[in-house]
Structure 1
Amino acid sequence: MSLFWRIFLLNAAVLCAAAALLLLGPVTVSTPVLLTEALILSVGLAVMIIANAALLRLGLAPLQRLTRAMATTDLLRPGPRTAAAGHGEIADLIHTFNSMLDRLEAERATSTARALSAQEAERRRIAQELHDEIGQTLTAVLLELKRVADASPAPVRDELRLVQESTRDSLDEIRRIARRLRPGVLEELGLVSALSSLTNEVPAHDGLTTRRQLAADLPPLGEEAELVLYRVAQESLTNAVRHARATRLELALNRGEDTVDLRVRDDGRGLRGAPEGAGIRGMRERALLIGARLSVGPGPGGGTEVRLSVPVRGGEG
């Protein structure tokens, strides 16, 4: 039955019941109206209104649940679907909304996978060019500076040595950027070694200390899952160093019953109700690609804690 006819019949039933009571009951209306008759009519009208409101609330309750679901749905945080309760058009509307969410999540996952794949390919290309082009050019500059410095008098030689040191620092910085863009150690030595190298690169400024706890008995996860774990750890450490004003960082990678769990915790100033930026949303998109669960919130002792649980099925991610 359509929503129109359900509401129409509910109201008609209430009105018919009221008319039957007036026709068949002992109630009469005098002219002028007596106080007792006015009270009886007022009570009857109130009962009609309350009954009509109760019936309509029961009939439209599924639409209210659907409205709340529409207001709180976030494609980056999939949740349970609204139950297709109700009858007729209401159940069809809820079912259509759930189907639309399924299509949107599937399309978003596909487009996100393509975008992240293109992003990783572009990172590898830039890292390769930094290593092959700029890195080799700076290496040649260093060799030339050394040759010129060896053949120069003492005052000029000292100045050239300073230029050499600046050039060497620039070369080291370019190599560090290239490693962050394309984690070669992840492909060559595995996830544990890559995360260990990542924590070693955290700058120890302003008394910042970094601790790590990396389990060695991890199950095979696959290249995509390992890359997601690495990128989430990388983004979490970067946010803590740049924005948290933390003095202590902790990174832990452990094996659960059927998951591999990553935890990055700091003692900084926390999120403070700030909206999620592109970095956190990027972590959520990566987690969704492999069916992982990501949570970002306050740590037990303050600061911020990032948790990522990657499911392990049948020994493989």
Structure 2
Amino acid sequence: MIDRSVTAEGSAGRALRPTQALFRRLLLINGLLFSAATLVLAFSPATVSAPVQITEIPVLVIGLLLILAANAVLVRGSLAPLDALATLMQRVDLLRASDRLTERDHGDVTHLVHTFNTMLDRLEAERSESSAHALAAQEAERQRIARELHDEIGQSLTVVLLGLKRTVDRAPAELREELHAMQETVRDSLDEVRQVARRLRPGVLADLGLQSALHALSSEFGELRVNRWVDHDLPELSPDVELVLYRIAQESLTNVARHAGAAEVDLSLTVRRGQLTLRVTDNGTGGIEHEGAGIRGMRERALLIGAKLTVTSTVDGTDVCLRVPR
């Protein structure tokens, strides 16, 4: 059986090692400076009277300033890696991977840098795992809602539509116009329910594949002119990768339709040198000041398949690019 007290002591010792090493270095720096100053005073012709003469004060001040300057330079060099580490802590974002400090050339804080990088690896892995569970639950809930919309509300509206048709056939002439308007309203509502159900559960993705799903997705945004280009020689993709590509394309087009004020958007899915790239580019106003829940959700989905998502926004439009490695 492992002695937990020994293990805890060993962990504590490893945790204190960077601090102890840095303390020893600072102690050594100050010790060397004081020793050098003592030797200079011992072997130099300069003397200090008691009490101190006015003419000796400049010599003492200059000597003190030299010691402080040398100490500042040496200590600053020892603490520089801590500044780099603090800067990384301020800008770190678990949705943006590969932001690490190199573990070489950091002297006594190398172990601290290594520990911090290891912590980031662990946090990113835990976030990716929790995001995978959350997105899986989200997809399951979307499928459940889509089924209920299609099977229950959709069927109810279909029954109402058929009842209105029979009522229109038997109604007096003066009421038929109003009943026809009501019939069209119910038909439009039924179409909207079916469209929402398709967006919640892209059945065409599972039935016909990614290319057909992107084609159907492009046709849903009638107010936009979607220029679509999809390579015909796409590699075989797993269902998870296809779903991530579809959802990011869907979110990108939705953002363009709602916020960009664009009239045209380019949607492409290409393969170059083994790398799969999804790109959505619009000609809208652009100028994204901060990333909302939609873009952060796309970043979470990208991390699930090890892909890299970049969002570039200018006054001439926004470019969303997802690169899936080989």
1:281 aligns with 2:300: no
Letter in 2 for 1:280: I
SS of match in other structure, 2:229:
strand
**Which of residues 194, 202, 219 is equivalent to 1:183?**
202
**Could you tell me how far 1:246 is from its partner in structure 2?**
1.2
Most deviating of 224-233 and 94-103: 94-103
1:304 aligns with 2:323: no
**Which of residues 112, 115, 121 is equivalent to 1:96?**
115
1:230 aligns with 2:250: no
**Could you tell me how far 1:34 is from its partner in structure 2?**
5.2
**Could you tell me how far 1:210 is from its partner in structure 2?**
2.2
Q: Distance in 2 between matches of 1:142 and 1:247?
A: 35
SS of match in other structure, 2:64:
helix
Equivalence for 1:266: 282
Equivalence for 1:60: 79
Equivalence for 2:14: none
Letter in 1 for 2:101: T
Equivalence for 1:113: 132
**Could you tell me how far 1:253 is from its partner in structure 2?**
1.2
1:292 aligns with 2:314: no
Number of equivalenced pairs: 305
Gaps in structure 2 of 5+ consecutive residues: 1-19
Gaps in structure 1 of 5+ consecutive residues: 313-317
Post-superposition Cα deviations, 1:34-68, rounded to whole Å, max 9, x if no partner, equal: 54x44433332222111101110111122111111
Tell me, yes or no, if the aligned pair for 2:143 and 2:200 is still in contact at 8 Å: yes
User: Do the aligned partners of residues 32 and 63 (structure 1) sit closer, same or farther apart at CA in structure 2, a change above 3 Å counting?
Assistant: closer
Q: Distance in 2 between matches of 1:259 and 1:213?
A: 16
After superposition, residues 145-294 of structure 1 pair within 5 angstroms as 145-204=164-223, 208-272=224-288, 274-294=289-309
TM score, norm. by length of structure 2: 0.89
Letter in 2 for 1:303: G
Q: Distance in 2 between matches of 1:158 and 1:32?
A: 112
SS of match in other structure, 2:25:
helix
1:135 aligns with 2:154: yes
Q: Distance in 2 between matches of 1:297 and 1:18?
A: 57
Letter in 2 for 1:6: R
Equivalence for 1:13: 32
Q: Distance in 2 between matches of 1:139 and 1:122?
A: 24
Richer in helix (by share): 2
SS of match in other structure, 2:322:
strand
SS of match in other structure, 1:255:
strand
Letter in 2 for 1:5: R
**Could you tell me how far 1:92 is from its partner in structure 2?**
2.6
Tell me, yes or no, if the aligned pair for 2:92 and 2:99 is still in contact at 8 Å: no
**Could you tell me how far 1:91 is from its partner in structure 2?**
2.6
Most deviating of 301-310 and 288-297: 301-310
Q: Distance in 2 between matches of 1:259 and 1:91?
A: 35
SS of match in other structure, 1:252:
strand
Letter in 2 for 1:136: Q
RMSD: 1.6
Post-superposition Cα deviations, 1:281-303, rounded to whole Å, max 9, x if no partner, equal: 0000000000001000126x811
Equivalence for 2:53: 33
**Which of residues 45, 67, 74 is equivalent to 2:93?**
74
**Could you tell me how far 1:161 is from its partner in structure 2?**
1.4
TM score, norm. by length of structure 1: 0.91
Structure 1 runs, 4 residues or longer, greater than 4 Å off: none
Q: Percent identity?
A: 53
Post-superposition Cα deviations, 1:97-135, rounded to whole Å, max 9, x if no partner, equal: 112111111110110000000000000010011111111
**Could you tell me how far 1:32 is from its partner in structure 2?**
5.6
SS of match in other structure, 1:265:
strand
Post-superposition Cα deviations, 1:228-256, rounded to whole Å, max 9, x if no partner, equal: 11100110111111111112211111111
